[in-house]
């Protein structure tokens, strides 16, 4: 039986997908394909990327919830070191899942990735001592379009795994971000 090179699982909001690549491991380490244009095209996922990003963060850092209003980005996200809780929030007013969120743990152990389409705010909380977070974007970063949504907005109700962390460390722009009711969103 042939194992597919990439397992694609829709989450509770089906446009957000968990991707699990096939991992080949032995005593020397492992190998996996994090992107293959033909496999992604066959799965109905993007094959054109405009930007690759890599961030390193300490335990308790929460980055997000970020989005670009006028040049929305789709993101393929993964963790190459450590462990994070990754979240996508549907901020498309016309969507039946508007204001809902989905989350998944991504780590260097599970090797999972998330596809987060345009129209979603994205963020993550670092659960390990250090995490390296890598992501591909469908459009370039555009400072005038850059927006943040409040990470702890009760209207969204994200269940962040804060046990043992307490209050997360935030960037100033994320700490001052508006909630869903006061944010500029997609129609």
In a domain, 79, yes or no: yes
Q: Residue 137 pairs with which residues in a beta bridge? A: 51, 75
Judge contact between 43 and 8, C-beta under 8 A. Answer: yes
Domain that holds residue 87: 6-22+43-182
Q: What angle do CA 50, 55, 56 make, to 5 degrees?
A: 165
In a domain, 167, yes or no: yes
Q: What per-residue confidence (pLDDT) applies to 22? A: 87
When pLDDT is averaged across residues 63-69 and rounded to a whole number, the result is: 97
The number of domains in the chain is: 1
When pLDDT is averaged across residues 24-46 and rounded to a whole number, the result is: 90
In a domain, 1, yes or no: no
Task: Catalogue the active-site residues.
Answer: 66, 135
Query: Which pair of tokens denotes residue 170?
Result: 């935030």
End-to-end CA distance of the chain: 45
In a domain, 38, yes or no: no
Domain holding 18: CATH number?
2.60.120.10
Q: Tell whether the model's pLDDT for residue 1 goes beyond 70.
A: no
In a domain, 36, yes or no: no
Q: What per-residue confidence (pLDDT) applies to 177? A: 98
The lowest-confidence range among 15-24, 54-63, 125-134 is: 15-24
Q: Tell whether the model's pLDDT for residue 17 goes beyond 90.
A: yes
pTM of the prediction? 0.94
In a domain, 11, yes or no: yes
In a domain, 158, yes or no: yes
Kindly report, residue by residue over 138-155, the tens digit of the pLDDT. 999 999 999 999 999 999
In a domain, 78, yes or no: yes
Say which residue the tokens 């929030």 belong to: 89
């Amino acid at each position: 039986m042939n194992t597919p090179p990439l397992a694609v699982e829709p989450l509770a909001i089906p446009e957000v997908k968990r991707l699990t690549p096939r991992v080949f491991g032995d005593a020397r380490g492992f190998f996996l394909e994090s992107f293959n244009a033909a496999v992604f095209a066959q799965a109905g996922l993007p094959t054109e990327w405009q930007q690759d990003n890599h961030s390193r963060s300490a335990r308790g850092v929460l980055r997000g919830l970020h989005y670009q209003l006028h040049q929305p980005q789709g993101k393929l996200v993964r963790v190459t070191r450590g462990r994070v809780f990754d979240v996508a929030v549907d901020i498309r007013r016309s969507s039946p899942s508007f204001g809902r969120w989905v989350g998944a743990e991504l780590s260097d152990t599970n090797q999972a990735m998330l596809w987060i389409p345009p129209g979603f705010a994205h963020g993550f909380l670092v659960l390990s001592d250090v995490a390296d977070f890598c992501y591909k974007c469908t459009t370039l970063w555009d400072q005038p379009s850059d927006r943040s949504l409040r990470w702890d907005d009760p209207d969204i109700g994200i269940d962040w795994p804060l046990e043992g962390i307490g209050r997360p460390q935030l960037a100033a722009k994320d700490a001052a971000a508006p909630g869903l009711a006061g944010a500029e969103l997609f129609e």
